[in-house]
Amino acid sequence: MAGPAFRAAAVRVRTPATSANLGPGFDALGLSLGLYDDVVVRVAESGLHIDIAGEGADTLPRDESHLLVRSLRTTFDLLGGQPRGLEVVCANRIPHGRGLGSSSAAICAGIVAARAVTIGGAEKLDEAAMLELATEIEGHPDNVAACLLGGFTVSWMEAGVARAVRMDPADSIVPVVFVPAKPVLTETARRLLPRTVPHADAAANAGRAALLVEALTRRPELLLPATEDRLHQDYRAPAMPESVALVNRLREDGVPAVISGAGPTVLALVEDGAADKVARLAGEGWAANRLALDAGGTSVLPLA
């Protein structure tokens, strides 16, 4: 049986940064942020050529081990076969190893680009199948759900299959990210988590995570209590003491602040009028950026 046919033209895919957990929503809640990686993929006659600009230009591999290429290959296999060759151009803006979903962005870019460059790819791989595939590659759905769907997402596993629902965050919320100079590996942060937690802490987090859905979508004035966490942030403090200290300092000033994903970036969710003032609170050693909320998720864009 013949393999799939591919488009001759290149495709351009844009993927957003994401923040998972958002305090109490450990491994379940995700938010899509207005900071983007762009990838252009073209089917070539032979070989593999990768060009990388921006984040990771000096450190990322330019061969089959690149996460984006592995995601492309996995998706092409699912769609029926590999192209003869590939040209991949990456413009990376999402910081690596900072808890802003750079790996999820690479995975989602690969999946969406492979689907877009394969004729009939959208019919073979729908939105639910893309989420399932991205979760298989990433290992958990919280970041990839927000990256694919945009907005604010709640994700979970059901009978081994990733599921997610998407909501629109309130327009008045402005994310402010405080990015430190040094990364922390997700594996390092996860190893610090205990196997069990006190029942009272689990109950408290369940209530705050439920409240966070209401706060993020309809009542931002509740964000400070809604972002309180007892399950992971304090346990991870030895790997990122400055980040946890900044979270605590911001919260003492009434700013809803959390560790973004596995850290070490700190995310504050503030009302529009306070964003610039909050961005000035971190002090030296932090790159503070006011971002937009992303509503579109991973998208195929016209070539510039």
Query: From the annotation, which residues make up the binding site for ATP?
Result: 95-105
Calculate the alpha carbon distances from 73 to 78, 123, 247, 269 in Å: 9, 18, 39, 37
Residue 203: partners with Cβ closer than 8 Å, 6 or more residues away: none
Q: What angle do CA 295, 298, 300 make, to 5 degrees?
A: 115
Of 127, 13, 21, 120, give the one whose Cα is nearest residue 68: 13
Among residues 151, 161, 74, the alpha carbon closest in space to that of 114 is found at 74
Cα–Cα nearest to 216, from 251, 265, 143, 267? 267
| Helix, strand, coil distribution of the chain in percent, nearest 5 | 35, 30, 35
H or E, element range at 121: helix 121-124
Query: Whole-angstrom Cα distance, residue 222 to residue 243?
Result: 23
CB atoms within 10 A of CB 123: 9
Helix (H) / strand (E) element for 68: namely: helix 67-79
Region at 54 (left for phi over 0; alpha for psi -120 to 50; beta for the rest): left
Binding site, annotated residues: 95-105
